Amino acid sequence: MFFLLWLILLWTAAACAGLAVFNLLLAKLIERLVPPVGSFVEVEGLRLHYVDSGDKPGQDGPPLLFVHGWLGQLNHFSYALAALFPERRVVLVDRPGCGYSQAAGAPTIAENAAVLAAFIDKIGLQKPLVIGHSLGGAIALALALDHSAKIAGLALIAPFTQFLSASPFYKLMAEQGRLSRWLSAWLLGPLLSVLRAASPMHPGFAPESIPRKFWTSAGGLLPIRADTLLAGALEIPAQQRELDAMQARYATLSTPVSILFGASDRLLDPKAQGETFCAVAPDATLTMIDGGHGLPMTQPRACETFIRAALARP
């Protein structure tokens, strides 16, 4: 019996070591397939990866700053949307812990917004229109609530504005301890992500199809890395508390907010996240189109029209 117990322990240790090595090799392969495409800058002690098209001579109106969602990265915008604004300075940034940016010690919505505010100053971005997608929408709203003088307005695509009753997956992620989050990310997380990626229907896009070359050109492989999965898991626990506190302040927003939602979004409910927010915020508008959650990649032209309408607002 004692020998059998030791044998089980040895096999378990060997399996864990094998998974860890597999995950390290997988991350190296992913980084070869999807290398960094921009520059690096240190902001608030963090090394951030970003793409900056630079100032444009004679530019009329604000530059654009794109902020991606949970387990996303700047390639979500460079894939098809960012190039539709050749006349403007366009900046895309990997949030802390995502893409090729260094993870933050306190990966909260407020901390993400504070890092973005410092990033805006660091690169000399003059009052941009901030385009936030999904969780990036919540971070853009925190930026407007706490650092409104730095921005011109918000154009939010399928934003996370209210914390509602969570899915079983969300509850599991929120209730995990730090050790279990680390073990999940570094042992089974990448393998399970690979298996989910093999599914023809992706919840981030359904009912629309996964965009062509999503895994490479749009950077869809990058979140499969263990360290990125861990950073994403660490973002979740504070979200209910933070969003509840933000919701109580939405009526005080002085920044114009435009919102775009796909009517068939399966990740965030357009009515709860869009209509409910617009009923409270004093200068908010909602546009609905056919589509799912991943509109910057599936419907870039519709997103362009929406962003240009937001730019035209006073």
pTM score, whole prediction: 0.91
Condensed to tens digits (0 to 9), the pLDDT of residues 149-178 reads 999 999 999 999 998 766 565 666 666 666
- 295-306 pLDDT, tens per residue? 999 999 999 999
What mean pLDDT do residues 257-283 have? 95
Average of per-residue pLDDT across 258-274: 95
pLDDT bracket for residue 186 (50, 70, 90): low
Domains and CATH numbers, the chain: 34-161+238-312 (3.40.50.1820)
Which tens digits make up the pLDDT trace of 73-128? 999 999 999 999 999 999 999 999 999 999 988 799 999 999 999 999 999 999 99
Question: Which residues have C-beta within 8 Å of that of residue 218, sequence separation ≥ 6?
Answer: 75, 76, 79, 80, 211, 297
pLDDT at 233 > cutoff 70: yes
